Amino acid sequence: MILIGIGANLRSAAGSPRVTCGAALLHLGRLGVVIAGRSPWYESAPIPASDQPWFVNGVVSVETALSPAGLLAALHLTEAAFGRLRTAANAARTLDLDLLAYRDLVKVEGAPLLPHPRLHERAFVLFPLRDLAPQWRHPALGETAANLAAKVPAEGIRRLDP
């Protein structure tokens, strides 16, 4: 399974963060990335805590012939198409796309690192991932998404979709 985390907390030319996230998924389709499944949308507090707006977050499973590096390039192109500017770490953004996992690949050197090095620590990734694929196993830790989600605090995150 190939997994992508998606989030936004600023408006883009497409509209609100939630609209931007949906439009980004359509854009990825034009780059050879087929959305196979999507989690419910969540709203989460910025990390670290700040006065930024809350984020809209979700996780998608995709199918693609792109290599991990090619997929990462497609994610960066999509972020740029929606006005993402890379300034300071943890800054507010119009779109944030993270390659979370690429099948069972474990890669600890060079971009992209796989699975994403902080995937197992982030409720804004784990809660949507648990909803999308509860039995997905972290390739390095061997734990399911459901087990990992049970280990992180639920404060600062709420489900938007029913």
Which residues are designated catalytic?
Answer: 84, 93, 96, 98
> What is the distance between the alpha carbons of residues 4 and 101, in angstroms, rounded to a whole number?
7
111's torsion region: left (phi>0), alpha (psi -120 to 50) or beta?
beta
Sign of CA dihedral 109, 113, 115, 121: positive
Q: What is the DSSP string of 112-143?
A: SPBS-TTGGG-HHHHHHHHHH-TT-B-TTT--
The CA–CA distances, whole Å, from 45 to 60, 125, 138 equal: 20, 12, 24
